[in-house]
A and B are shown apart, each in its own frame.
Chain A
């Protein structure tokens, strides 16, 4: 048995694969390993273990990912995305000198090893969501050196204390008052549980319950009269975490009063906010260390500028007093608080400069101007975290992780930008390939020429060439450097930014839309450089973009979405909004005797309409039988070039491909019976061409499918609840031919001038394809499928499958999944010459097929592929949480010299041969003369 398995493995591994060369990896591909926009109160610098010299930046995004970034170079250290069955916001806490960080998402609480992200313990709380999470720094005023325990506030189940080592629940305090749990806060001796008590009328009161950390028993409870100010959660500015003096601060609706309470006391200090202008936002920054000074900073934002005030807390007298205020500055800025030993430093970051202040006095300790790169033009700091290094009393350097308003997360070290992470790209929902306007203008001019008469077309052409001459001097100037660079083998790197110097057509713009409403264009040929980046929320306020879809047209991109009033048109070169009147929409090229038929999924039925718009009277309707529901449909890509209309067999006979351009593959599901069916339709006539049904399928899992050329493919998960004979995941491939017999055109054979390419022109009944299919077992679940695309379709294709569980994208060579592989016997000599191997029921994914090699691409929603300037190469972009782009050459790069080609060696060989000729020539001449004399 084992031998059999080994043989199967060996048989599948010998299949040829165009893998990535080691020296090409990391050059031809790029990967943005993203976290998402960092959350304000859960982003911090932290040492991964007590003795560590350097700290890492820990952050969490919304409800998805915990990410750890090296502050030196911005590289991702580790990342985890725990799955929560319940929605909720993400929380992340770390305690001093601990080698773990504790996270909470929805109903999932987990502790992770801070250095490498391995799990320490996890707990799933059934039927509750986590509202707040704190780590108990001290117990009875003594710092514990062991694993510190976590205190968790749950929505319905009160407060729980988790053991820091094992995750065991030590005690639970059940709150039966019916108040809304808000937050917890710890002091060295007490745990405070803060809830919002909302009476029938008016605002909310804050109720503070103090609990014993050891037993979890209630010690005391009191309410603070805050009903005049607090209407909902947002009016509470701060509920201090692990500060020496836990604070509770809130404001009223109009941001006019600031009220501060030291938790544990009943006194409320009231301050008025600066009254010059209406304050839009107040943010409170306080240090989160137990031994820091009890100083805090309140940040005020108005429409035109920002200012701040620093307050001191007197712990002995339990009073809060204002220490000093920072001057108001025009423009936007952000503040950060960094405790160093017991001292507290505040960092102010504006678009121009970074300045550091001590909490004790208002003097600026250090100041650096920010040298912002072009990617931050027009953006302003939104939130910041800083690490201040103090040497002998003065600030020697500062490192800040700043989130800018355009979504770039930037590290600024003493005013210099150390790295940038394009976190706004995370969570892409749609992507498309945009064509550059320049490229299009040439295409347009060529089109003009083809429509004119010969003479004027010729004149137009000559004019165009003369116009092109203006680039000639620059080109000739660059030539020596380019040739030299080529010889020394560094051409690729130097030309990487040059989108204009795109000889091979690798520089394509991919436009990506994210769920947060960002639209960005990436240059796939230049390591995914962001060319432009705009916020759609500004263009269409109030809209949601979680389901937006993109469509590329000549020179512009159309953004559609359910949350949008109408489509938005964005210039694909600059990212500017175009007014829809200004766009000359190109009508689809249809000749007179043809009609355009569009189709759409409406009310669970697939309907075809005459014309581009959905009308009341469909031309055809496809309703799945037996109460099945349509889950998705896949159409053949509009631009899908096919090089050959037939498949040449080993004996030189031809199997004709069924090349209908209107193929649509519809996936339907009958959940109750665990049946999944696939229907192949002709979208012009609505006719059913082929149907296949599978039993015992787990319909709750993704069922991806794709269609290209004359074949389609889909993947299924076998449901185990029935007595299925095998387990795991299946990949099905089906190929369509005109006839099962070679050299035969099936029903088309009778007519002399018919083709499956134009099925409407065929006489009589629409021809149905002959379908050949094979099923393979695959080791992993597939979440998305795509097919590579090349310019002429000569290069063989690869099926690009996304494997979510191993965070990879695999390109399965088309030859491996050929449905003509002989079953149960070895291939004959003729079949072997076609490259067909014996059918084996399993396809192991060869690591060499993996496009992403050592990168780990997580959360991929979709993969798009397009042609490059070279026939051999297809460009691939994967989007989702991460962005990954690469080039694929399924039949190797036959039209390009690889890096293995040594140009210097070739030149030397030519020179050596020339020298040899110089030497040998006299010898030969002498010999010839001698032979003449001797004859």
Chain B
């Protein structure tokens, strides 16, 4: 189907030429009247691209475009536009009448995809067709400099960890004081069982002499420090 359209078009390319207009509508993203005059549109097919400048009515007017299949791109400093595929063909409107007319069709196209992979039909008609082209986004050139902000400082995991331990150190005694006697006793019992505290008077010392291998082996003896018992690496005094 596709080939059958293009082939007569190529043959007739010398005979006739089409004209059409790409128009930038006013959208929320961009007021087209503010676009720079360096904004221009190109039609690429073979050889040098055909160029059209931005007019006062926010459009690009192409005239004398020979039949063919074109990639239309809009180049603008501040906004990115979606590319279009524009096919110009010469067709007989009524079969056998011999009367030929230019037909212009415009589709969305996707770079890096097959050319036949067309998107939404953007417009179809004869000479003087107006196709709307919409910007897809503003171009932002600059990188943000990450300055000092208290929030980003707080987001740092190290700071969060430090804050958490601060809360524990200062908040725990307060919590203990507010506990009723029963839970307090239960908690102390739990602490005694805990391998880290080990019932020793000096928690720091017991931490240093903690017998990892013994603990892992499920040893349960308490009271005296297991200083001489094991040559396990974890238990060595540093």
Q: Cβ of A80: which chain B residues have Cβ within 8 Å of it?
A: 37, 53
Q: How distant is the Cα of A655 from the Cα of B56 in the complex, in angstroms?
A: 57
Q: How distant is the Cα of A902 from the Cα of B149 in the complex, in angstroms?
A: 13
Q: Cβ of A807: which chain B residues have Cβ within 8 Å of it?
A: 38, 75, 77
Interface of chain B residues 65 through 118 with chain A (CB within 8 A)? 68-69, 71, 73, 75-77, 80, 83, 85, 109-117
Q: Cβ of B3: which chain A residues have Cβ within 8 Å of it?
A: 723
- Interface size, B (range): 35 or more
Q: Residue A254 at the B interface, CB < 8 A?
A: no
In the assembled complex, the CB of B224 is this many whole angstroms from the nearest CB of chain A, namely 24
Of A21-29, A353-361, A483-491, A528-536, the one contacting chain B is A21-29
Q: Residue A905 at the B interface, CB < 8 A?
A: yes
Q: Residue B51 at the A interface, CB < 8 A?
A: yes
Q: Residue B148 at the A interface, CB < 8 A?
A: yes
A22: nearest chain-B partner, CB-CB: B142
Apart from A118-B53, A725-B115, list 12 A-B contacts with CB within 8 A: A4-B110, A19-B142, A22-B144, A726-B112, A727-B109, A781-B49, A806-B76, A806-B77, A807-B38, A807-B77, A850-B141, A856-B77
A121: nearest chain-B partner, CB-CB: B55
B60: nearest chain-A partner, CB-CB: A119
In the assembled complex, the CB of A86 is this many whole angstroms from the nearest CB of chain B, namely 14
Known A-B contacts A726-B112, A842-B111; the reply to A119 vs B142 at CB < 8 A is no
State whether B143 touches A854 (Cβ < 8 A). no
Interface of chain B residues 12 through 56 with chain A (CB within 8 A)? 36-38, 40, 42, 44-49, 51, 53-56
Interface of chain B residues 128 through 182 with chain A (CB within 8 A)? 139-148
Q: Cβ of B147: which chain A residues have Cβ within 8 Å of it?
A: 900
A851: nearest chain-B partner, CB-CB: B141
- Interface size, A (range): 35 or more
State whether A900 touches B145 (Cβ < 8 A). yes
State whether A2 touches B119 (Cβ < 8 A). yes
State whether B141 touches A19 (Cβ < 8 A). yes
Known A-B contacts A728-B111, A848-B143; the reply to A902 vs B53 at CB < 8 A is no
Q: How distant is the Cα of A724 from the Cα of B115 in the complex, in angstroms?
A: 8
Q: How distant is the Cα of A204 from the Cα of B141 in the complex, in angstroms?
A: 60
Task: Encode B215-229 as 1/0 by CB contact (under 8 A) with A.
Answer: 000000000000000
In the assembled complex, the CB of A89 is this many whole angstroms from the nearest CB of chain B, namely 21
State whether B54 touches A20 (Cβ < 8 A). no
A12: nearest chain-B partner, CB-CB: B112
Q: Residue A840 at the B interface, CB < 8 A?
A: yes
> Which of A23, A780, A905 contacts B148, CB < 8 Å?
A905
State whether A779 touches B55 (Cβ < 8 A). no
State whether B46 touches A118 (Cβ < 8 A). no
Task: Encode A845-868 as 1/0 by CB contact (under 8 A) with B.
Answer: 001101001101010000000000
Main secondary structure of the interface of A (DSSP, over half): loop
State whether A779 touches B73 (Cβ < 8 A). yes
Q: Which 7 A-B pairs have the closest CB atoms?
A: A842-B112, A117-B37, A19-B143, A847-B139, A853-B141, A22-B142, A119-B53
State whether A119 touches B141 (Cβ < 8 A). no
Q: Residue A324 at the B interface, CB < 8 A?
A: no
State whether B143 touches A698 (Cβ < 8 A). no
Interface of chain B residues 205 through 235 with chain A (CB within 8 A)? none
A83: nearest chain-B partner, CB-CB: B51
Q: What are 10 inter-chain pairs, A to B, with CB distance below 8 A?
A: A1-B117, A20-B142, A22-B143, A23-B145, A112-B37, A116-B36, A118-B54, A805-B40, A848-B140, A848-B143
Q: How distant is the Cα of A20 from the Cα of B85 in the complex, in angstroms?
A: 34
Q: How distant is the Cα of A5 from the Cα of B83 in the complex, in angstroms?
A: 12
> Which of B75, B77, B83, B117 contacts A854, CB < 8 Å?
B77
Q: Cβ of B48: which chain A residues have Cβ within 8 Å of it?
A: 700-701
Q: How distant is the Cα of A700 from the Cα of B56 in the complex, in angstroms?
A: 33
In the assembled complex, the CB of B78 is this many whole angstroms from the nearest CB of chain A, namely 8
State whether A902 touches B148 (Cβ < 8 A). yes
Q: Cβ of A735: which chain B residues have Cβ within 8 Å of it?
A: none
Q: How distant is the Cα of A735 from the Cα of B200 in the complex, in angstroms?
A: 65
Q: How distant is the Cα of A112 from the Cα of B114 in the complex, in angstroms?
A: 39
Q: Residue A120 at the B interface, CB < 8 A?
A: yes
B71: nearest chain-A partner, CB-CB: A727
Q: How distant is the Cα of A776 from the Cα of B48 in the complex, in angstroms?
A: 21
Interface of chain A residues 501 through 532 with chain B (CB within 8 A)? none
In the assembled complex, the CB of B52 is this many whole angstroms from the nearest CB of chain A, namely 8
Task: Encode A886-930 as 1/0 by CB contact (under 8 A) with B.
Answer: 000000000000111010010000000000000000000000000
Q: Which of B48, B113, B146 has the most CB of A within 10 A?
A: B113
State whether A899 touches B110 (Cβ < 8 A). no
Known A-B contacts A725-B115, A842-B111; the reply to A120 vs B56 at CB < 8 A is yes
B147: nearest chain-A partner, CB-CB: A900
Q: Cβ of B55: which chain A residues have Cβ within 8 Å of it?
A: 118-120
Task: Encode A560-604 as 1/0 by CB contact (under 8 A) with B.
Answer: 000000000000000000000000000000000000000000000
Interface of chain A residues 52 through 91 with chain B (CB within 8 A)? 78-80, 83
Interface of chain A residues 1 through 58 with chain B (CB within 8 A)? 1-2, 4-5, 8, 17-23, 25
Q: Residue A720 at the B interface, CB < 8 A?
A: yes
Q: How distant is the Cα of A847 from the Cα of B77 in the complex, in angstroms?
A: 9
A806: nearest chain-B partner, CB-CB: B75
Task: Encode A113-143 as 1/0 by CB contact (under 8 A) with B.
Answer: 1001111101010000000000000000000
Interface of chain A residues 825 through 843 with chain B (CB within 8 A)? 840-842
In the assembled complex, the CB of B22 is this many whole angstroms from the nearest CB of chain A, namely 13
A700: nearest chain-B partner, CB-CB: B47
Q: Residue A934 at the B interface, CB < 8 A?
A: no
In the assembled complex, the CB of A341 is this many whole angstroms from the nearest CB of chain B, namely 31
Q: Cβ of B37: which chain A residues have Cβ within 8 Å of it?
A: 78, 80, 112-113, 116-118
In the assembled complex, the CB of B82 is this many whole angstroms from the nearest CB of chain A, namely 9
Q: Cβ of B141: which chain A residues have Cβ within 8 Å of it?
A: 19-20, 25, 847-848, 850, 853-854
Q: How distant is the Cα of A854 from the Cα of B144 in the complex, in angstroms?
A: 16
Q: Cβ of A728: which chain B residues have Cβ within 8 Å of it?
A: 44, 71, 111
Q: Cβ of B71: which chain A residues have Cβ within 8 Å of it?
A: 720, 727-728
In the assembled complex, the CB of A189 is this many whole angstroms from the nearest CB of chain B, namely 32
Q: Cβ of B110: which chain A residues have Cβ within 8 Å of it?
A: 1, 4-5
Interface of chain A residues 772 through 812 with chain B (CB within 8 A)? 776-777, 779-781, 805-808
B85: nearest chain-A partner, CB-CB: A727
State whether B115 touches A727 (Cβ < 8 A). yes
In the assembled complex, the CB of A184 is this many whole angstroms from the nearest CB of chain B, namely 26
State whether A900 touches B56 (Cβ < 8 A). no
Q: Residue A721 at the B interface, CB < 8 A?
A: yes
State whether A805 touches B75 (Cβ < 8 A). yes
Q: Cβ of A776: which chain B residues have Cβ within 8 Å of it?
A: 112
In the assembled complex, the CB of A101 is this many whole angstroms from the nearest CB of chain B, namely 12
State whether A698 touches B46 (Cβ < 8 A). yes
Q: Cβ of B119: which chain A residues have Cβ within 8 Å of it?
A: 1-2
State whether A805 touches B49 (Cβ < 8 A). yes
> Which of B45, B83, B113, B116 contacts A720, CB < 8 Å?
B45
A19: nearest chain-B partner, CB-CB: B143
> Which of B46, B85, B144 contacts A719, CB < 8 Å?
B46
State whether A25 touches B142 (Cβ < 8 A). yes
State whether B114 touches A725 (Cβ < 8 A). yes
State whether A777 touches B111 (Cβ < 8 A). yes
State whether A698 touches B47 (Cβ < 8 A). yes
Q: Cβ of A21: which chain B residues have Cβ within 8 Å of it?
A: 142-143, 145
Q: Cβ of B80: which chain A residues have Cβ within 8 Å of it?
A: 847
Q: Cβ of B44: which chain A residues have Cβ within 8 Å of it?
A: 717, 720, 727-728, 781
Q: Cβ of B77: which chain A residues have Cβ within 8 Å of it?
A: 806-808, 854, 856
> Which of A721, A779, A806, A902 contacts B83, CB < 8 Å?
A779
Q: How distant is the Cα of A780 from the Cα of B111 in the complex, in angstroms?
A: 10
Q: How distant is the Cα of A67 from the Cα of B211 in the complex, in angstroms?
A: 84
Q: Which of B73, B112, B142 has the most CB of A within 10 A?
A: B112
State whether B69 touches A720 (Cβ < 8 A). yes
Q: Cβ of A844: which chain B residues have Cβ within 8 Å of it?
A: 111
Q: Which of A720, A841, A898 has the most CB of B within 10 A?
A: A720
In the assembled complex, the CB of A105 is this many whole angstroms from the nearest CB of chain B, namely 13
Q: Cβ of A727: which chain B residues have Cβ within 8 Å of it?
A: 44, 71, 85, 109, 115
Interface of chain A residues 408 through 423 with chain B (CB within 8 A)? none
